[in-house]
Amino acid sequence: MLALLALAAAGCAHNAPLDTLRPASPISREIKNLWDLVFYMAVVVFVIVEGLIVVLLFRFRQRKGDTSMPKQTHGNTRLEFGWTVLPAVILASLAIPTVLTIFALAREPAGALHVNVRAQQWWWRYDYPGTGVVTANELHIPAGRKVVLSLRSKDIIHSWWAPRLAGKQDVVPGWTNHLTIEASEPGTYLGQCVEYCGLSHANMRLKVIAQTPADFQAWLTAQAKPLTEPAAPDAAAGKKVFLAQACTGCHTIRGTAAQGDVGPDLTHFASRTGFAGDIFDRNDHNLRLWLTDAPAEKPGSKMPAGVAELGLTQKDITVLIAFLQSLR
């Protein structure tokens, strides 16, 4: 009873952002329709099989005082034919819509937006071909338009999944896989890497931000612009600290000497809502924790500990935060 109660309670979440049964796109609705068909057929089979078991248990149970052996039956052509043909019919009725759905989802749509996705431990890089726009963890798309993702991995196998928008797709080193997604309405849709990829696998999250076509175009135009020189004194001082440190070897800020490709492109860092694989909200408190000791905040992080490894002071961190928060 406790197990059944726990199972029922688990299905009562009011906020379930990774709920694949609440589709928010035509693609995820196709997947849910197939899931519904399989589920209801499985329910029917379960009820029939378990019902027959219960009937047989009661009808043919041994009665008190009855020591006789039951009548032995050797072979039954009709039964054997039935339990061979019926499962074959059930499997065929599942196979046909499954194959049709797979082919429908694999077909590349005309007029789609193309985005190159690169996975690496433990964050996502998004590149919009022909625009010069590169961002991290937060994928912006226009609502109502199909988007084709070309997925590659820099290190090991990952898997990209935004359950309300599409199915899962493995991201494999040395191979490009493709996935089509679409959001019917503007909104924010959460996702996750779903292939175990090391120490911070659970910290490799993602966010898809669907915007109206006009808002998306405005975002894309803003993201294509290079660094705007910071006007505030703290932000200007933070830029000097950034360029003087090892940051330039790992991160890119267009319009500066920072042209690294190990970590995320930070040109418009302050336009994002989160950072570090999208596990932290972008605010001064979290940035201070991150810059002080990133590996302590995210196990396995390749970002060095600012105080212990880079020798940053708290004043350095304060101006770095001001600089990063100015990168809009």
With cut-offs at 50, 70 and 90, classify the pLDDT of residue 210: very high
With cut-offs at 50, 70 and 90, classify the pLDDT of residue 191: very high
Q: What is the chain's mean pLDDT, rounded?
A: 92
Can 113-223 and 233-324 be said to share one CATH topology?
A: yes
Residue type, 292: T
**Distance (Å, whole) CA 250 – CA 310:** 14
Q: What is the pLDDT of residue 138?
A: 97
Q: What is the pLDDT of residue 246?
A: 79
18: number of Cβ within 10 Å: 15
- Residue 10 pLDDT > 80: no
Average pLDDT over residues 35-56: 94
Please return the burial class of 66, using the count of CB atoms within 10 Å of its CB with bins 0-12, 13-18 and 19+. Answer: exposed
Long-range contacts of 200-203 (CB under 8 A, 24+ apart): 200/121, 200/122, 200/277, 200/298, 200/299, 200/300, 200/301, 201/122, 203/122, 203/276, 203/277, 203/279, 203/298, 203/299
Is the domain 113-223 a CATH 3.40.50.2000 member? no
Q: What is the pLDDT of residue 44?
A: 94
Cis upstream peptide for 122 (omega within 30°): yes
**Distance (Å, whole) CA 7 – CA 11:** 7
Average pLDDT over residues 275-281: 94
- Residue 129 pLDDT > 80: yes
Phi/psi for 169 (5° steps) reads -145, 120
- Residue 1 pLDDT > 80: yes
Percent of the chain whose predicted confidence (pLDDT) is above 90? 75
Show me where the domains of the chain are located: 113-223, 233-324
113, β-bridge pairs: 147
**Distance (Å, whole) CA 160 – CA 10:** 24
Which position has the higher pLDDT, 198 or 9? 198
- Residue 70 pLDDT > 80: no
Q: Looking at 39-48, 64-73, 234-243, which range is the least confident one?
A: 64-73
Q: What is the pLDDT of residue 19?
A: 87
Average pLDDT over residues 23-41: 94
Q: What is the pLDDT of residue 66?
A: 80
Q: What is the pLDDT of residue 97?
A: 93
**Distance (Å, whole) CA 316 – CA 306:** 10
Is the domain 233-324 a CATH 2.60.40.420 member? yes
**Distance (Å, whole) CA 13 – CA 219:** 33
**For the chain, give me the number of helices (H) and strands (E)?**
9, 12
**Distance (Å, whole) CA 131 – CA 128:** 6
Digit-coded pLDDT (tens) for 142-185: 999 999 999 999 999 999 999 999 999 999 999 999 999 999 99
Q: Looking at 125-129, 216-220, 247-251, 295-299, which range is the least confident one?
A: 247-251
Bridge-based pairing of strands 177-181 and 147-153 is antiparallel
- Residue 12 pLDDT > 80: no
CB 121 within 8 A of CB 156: yes
Produce one character per residue of 117-136: b if its CB has 16 or more CB atoms within 10 Å, e if not: bbbbbbbbbbbbeeeebbbb
Average pLDDT over residues 15-31: 90
The helix (H) or strand (E) run that includes residue 38 is helix 26-59
Tokens representing 80?
A: 């054997």
- Cβ within 8 Å of residue 319, ≥6 positions away: 234, 235, 237, 238, 241
**Distance (Å, whole) CA 160 – CA 172:** 11
Average pLDDT over residues 75-82: 88
With cut-offs at 50, 70 and 90, classify the pLDDT of residue 310: confident
Distance of CA 221 to the CA centre of its chain: 26
- Residue 11 pLDDT > 80: no
**Nearest CA to 312 among 248, 241, 256?**
241
Digit-coded pLDDT (tens) for 215-232: 999 999 999 998 888 889
Q: What is the pLDDT of residue 163?
A: 95
